[in-house]
Amino acid sequence: MKVLVATEKPFAPKAVEDIRKEIEGAGHELVLLEKYTDKTQLLESVRDVDAMIVRSDKVTQEVLDAAENLKIIARAGAGYDSIDIEYAKTKGVVVENTPGQNSNAVAELVFGLLVYAVRNFYNGKSGTELMGKKLGILAFGNVGRNVGRIAKGFGMEVSAYDAFCPAEIIEAAGVHACNSQDELFQTNDIVSLHIPATPETIQSIDYRTVNQMGKGGILINTARKEVINEPELLKLFADRGDLKYISDIKPDADEEFKKFEGRYFATPKKMGAQTAEANINAGIAAARQINAFFAEGSTKFQVNK
Ligand code: NAD
């Protein structure tokens, strides 16, 4: 089988080496398309491949139509909103993600950003500590759970709300389970977003929701920029001078947010999953999942069933 690694933003060389070992070790052929700058390069490369590994690369209807032999796409990462999974389904193409492989990396970044925020972005003025503060985790998935684990090390009081994960699982991790998203916003000093971008969550973090936070509230987003209703958050920031917004994803309205000096920070480039470990783990997982699919028909991590 021919397996394409198509990465506009390439994997680390060590990750590519490990992916190659997995794919070739299973008797398949590996083809690399890195740092492509034009869609036509991707359309050309997918033409005769049986499988592809991607990162945040856009897999559109056009790409799927060009890939006549394609049977499986493995997204090395958690979010798969860059792939048209429904169209892939109509074409019989299995789409998988590699959940959990980058979650510690994202969770550690949450705390890097939080310390930066509560110390006033290192502007020399006295800040606050995280110990004893209340942290609310929105969505107790792979990243959320790691955030909870680390938060306890900081001595924080940790709560979580997840629309699908039962309260017992949250409580079993030593985290208080809130009954609703509103309760999470009402009862915490800091709210950390870990919801995926879905039709329900897109634009769901709006004026009303965030305005429920108490004085000096901090909203931190290492999920997706799409979950924020940016015009409403900007309006709220104009109305309330006490809130801070920290993001790992530059909002579309970055320039507008920058006007709220000392209350806003966004990483220049999405950094959450950018660690050597996450890169390698996600790449190897994607390669192994493709091998298992061809060897045993395994579709354990399929997201378009
Ligand atoms: P995950 O699939 O393990 O967990 C997602 C959780 O969200 C699940 O527990 C699910 O029940 C919950 N959920 C879904 N819809 C919800 C809703 N409407 N309300 C409340 N909870 C809801 O995913 P993960 O690995 O924890 O990652 C979470 C998100 O973080 C990803 O979807 C991705 O968009 C983002 N992410 C960002 C980076 C980065 O580089 N910053 C890296 C990895 C993941």
Instruction: Read off the pLDDT of residues 92-147 as tens digits, 9 standing for 90 and up.
Output: 999 999 999 999 999 999 999 999 999 999 999 999 999 999 999 999 999 999 99
Same domain, 46 and 190: no
Same domain, 209 and 175: yes
Same domain, 215 and 260: yes
Same domain, 176 and 110: yes
Average pLDDT in the chain: 97
Nearest to 7 by CA among 56, 50, 45: 56
Instruction: Read off the pLDDT of residues 10-44 as tens digits, 9 standing for 90 and up.
Output: 999 999 999 999 999 999 999 999 999 999 999 99
Same domain, 143 and 71: no
Atom of ligand 1 nearest to the CA of 204: 18
Whole-number pLDDT of residue 74: 98
Instruction: Read off the pLDDT of residues 62-104 as tens digits, 9 standing for 90 and up.
Output: 999 999 999 999 999 988 999 999 999 999 999 999 999 999 9
Please name the residue ranges forming H helices in 7-60. Answer: 13-25, 39-46
Nearest to 128 by CA among 143, 113, 146, 116: 116
In a domain, 305, yes or no: no
Whole-number pLDDT of residue 78: 87
The pTM of the full predicted model, rounded to 2 decimals, is: 0.88
In a domain, 147, yes or no: yes
Where does the pLDDT of residue 172 fall: very low under 50, low under 70, confident under 90, or very high at 90 and above?
A: very high
How many whole angstroms from 193 Cα to the centroid of ligand 1? Answer: 8
Q: Which one-letter amino acid corresponds to residue 159?
A: S
- The protein residue whose alpha carbon is closest to atom 44 in ligand 1 is 78
Atom of ligand 1 nearest to the CA of 99: 25
- Ligand 1 pocket, CB under 6 A: 77-79, 99, 102-103, 106, 139-144, 162-165, 194-198, 200-201, 222-224, 248, 270, 272-273
Whole-number pLDDT of residue 33: 98
Whole-number pLDDT of residue 72: 98
Instruction: Read off the pLDDT of residues 203-228 as tens digits, 9 standing for 90 and up.
Output: 999 999 999 999 999 999 999 999 99
Same domain, 80 and 141: no
Same domain, 91 and 116: no
Whole-number pLDDT of residue 142: 95
In a domain, 192, yes or no: yes
| Backbone φ and ψ of 276, nearest 5° | -60, -40
Q: Which one-letter amino acid corresponds to residue 36?
A: Y
Q: Which residue has the tokens 């890195």?
A: 34
State both tokens at 233.
């958050």
Same domain, 249 and 279: no
How many whole angstroms from 290 Cα to the centroid of ligand 1? Answer: 23
Residue-number span of the structural domain to which 187 is assigned:
103-266
- The protein residue whose alpha carbon is closest to atom 5 in ligand 1 is 141
CATH of the domain at 163: 3.40.50.720
Same domain, 23 and 87: yes
In a domain, 303, yes or no: no
Nearest-angstrom CA–CA distance, 227 and 202: 4
In a domain, 58, yes or no: yes
Instruction: Look at the chain and report how many structural domains it folds into.
Output: 2
- The protein residue whose alpha carbon is closest to atom 1 in ligand 1 is 141
